Every structure is written in C-alpha cells, then in structure tokens.
Amino acid sequence: MLEKLGFREIKQQVFKRIREGEWGPGSLLPGEVELAAEFGCARATVNRAMQELSDDGIIERRRKGGSRVKLSPVRQVTFEIPLVRVEIETNGAAYKYVLIADAVVVAPKNLQERLGLPATSTVRHIKCLHLADGKPYQFEDRWINLSAVPGARNADFAAISPNEWLVREVPYTNAEVRFSATEANEVIARHLRAKVGDAIFTAERTTWLAKKPVTNVHLYFAHGHQMVAEY
C-alpha cells in the first residue's frame, strides 16, 4: 500500500494506470473509499485528485454512477510550477542558489499596467541565479505583490529562493505562462555566460490568488535548455 500521498501524486498514479491501459476507455474506476484505502489517505484527498482528472478531461464523474475513463479523453498540456532546485537535482546535478539583488520598491509603471496594480503599490523585486553543477541554469527576475503576499516582505530570500518560498507558502488560483525568445542584454548575458544579442529561451509567468496578482517573473534559461510537456 502506498502511504502519505498527496492529491497530486494520487492523480499521477491514477493517470499512469489509465495511460498504460490498466483502465481502458469506458472502464469503471474503483470507488473513492477503495482508492483511499489503497493509497493510505483520506477520501477527500482522492476526491480532489479525481476532480482534477475530470477537469482535465481524462475521466467523467457521475453522481451515484462512479467515475469512468472517458471513451475519447481530452488531451491537454498542463504546466505545474516546478521547484527549480528539485528540477536540477532530479537531473543528477548539484544545485546552488545565488541572490543577486533584492529591494522593496513602488511598482514601476509597466508592472502596474501588466498586473493592474494601483500606482502606490509596493512590490519586492528579486533577481537571482540558479546553477547546476556550478553552471548557470536559470536567471530569475521576479516581482512579488506585497498587498497580496504580505509575508513576502520579511522572507529571507538570501536563504531560500523566491521560487521555493512561494510554491511552499502561497496558494494561487490561476496562472498565465508565456514563452518567447529574448535577445540577451548585458545583465542576462553576464549571468548566463552568454553573448549580448544571443536568443535566450524565456518563460514569463504570472499567478493570481482570486483576483489579486501574486507574482510576475521572467525566467531566462541557459543555452541548450529544453522544456518537455507530457500529455
């Protein structure tokens, strides 16, 4: 029996069995009580995992009729906010984090417009570098809205990266991710050991808690980075 699994792990386990054919299209899935007993967790945890699978178009749930694998599952690509430390360590590399700049400031006009912030909003602006085996992996340029996340004002980002702190401490209700190629300026080039003008794979991510913007971050990746999505 698997123990102490969260809803994300249970979702992954159920989806894996569906993908590998253990439960084929149209199959009736075990009930929540049965799955909770197997995974050693509360029924509510299973319920949340099954609801996400339903939202993703993988299964269909019917009151008193149980859950079945959809005959024609909707395929969606989903992105979860990763811990960059775990991402690096999973690839077998040694992780290092370096805080480059950190300040509480009034949100600049472009950020006010991007996030719909009042002109007097204060934000925490952090620039940091994530390294894998001593080589630049990701340069992070992040803004945190302190009206939405007041606890971020005193967080020790010299000891823990804002990525890790936010994933652990702050929930979010929705997110937007944009991918692009950015022409490296002097700052980006210096930190990623690239040349000025090089095309840098970039992800811009914004998250919200209800209607309040939580954070906006630009993630610049070192040359050769690849992003893989499974569906």
Q: Which of 7-21, 64-78, 122-136, 165-179 has the lowest mean pLDDT?
A: 64-78
Q: Is the pLDDT of residue 3 over 50?
A: no
Identify residue 214 by its one-letter amino acid code: V
Question: pLDDT at position 89, please?
Answer: 93
Question: pLDDT at position 2, please?
Answer: 43
Question: pLDDT at position 71, please?
Answer: 76
Map out the domains of the chain as residue ranges. 7-69, 84-221
Question: pLDDT at position 19, please?
Answer: 78
- Chosen CATH of 84-221 out of 3.40.920.10, 3.60.15.10, 3.40.50.970, 3.40.1410.10: 3.40.1410.10
Q: Is the pLDDT of residue 6 over 50?
A: yes
- Work out the mean pLDDT of the chain and round it to a whole number: 89
pTM over 0.85: no
> How does pLDDT run across 12-38, given as a tens digit for each residue?
889 888 877 898 888 899 999 999 999
- Chosen CATH of 7-69 out of 1.10.10.10, 1.10.150.20, 3.30.9.10, 1.10.3720.10: 1.10.10.10
203: Cα separation from own chain's centroid:
12
Work out the average pLDDT over 76-90. 77
> How does pLDDT run across 95-145, given as a tens digit for each residue?
999 999 999 999 999 999 999 999 999 999 999 999 999 999 999 999 999
Consecutive H or E run containing 106: strand 95-106
Taking Cα atoms as reference points, which of 182, 172, 183, 114 lies closest to residue 143?
A: 114
Percent of all residues in the chain with a pLDDT value above 90, rounded to a whole number: 62
Work out the average pLDDT over 52-59. 85
Question: pLDDT at position 31, please?
Answer: 92
Question: pLDDT at position 76, please?
Answer: 52
Q: How many CA atoms lie within 13 A of 27 on its CB side?
A: 14
Report helix, strand or coil for 108: coil
> What secondary structure does DSSP assign to 39-82, as a single string?
HTS-HHHHHHHHHHHHHTTSEEEETTTEEEE-SSPPP-------
Q: Which of 5-14, 102-111, 175-184 has the lowest mean pLDDT?
A: 5-14
Q: Is the pLDDT of residue 150 over 90?
A: yes
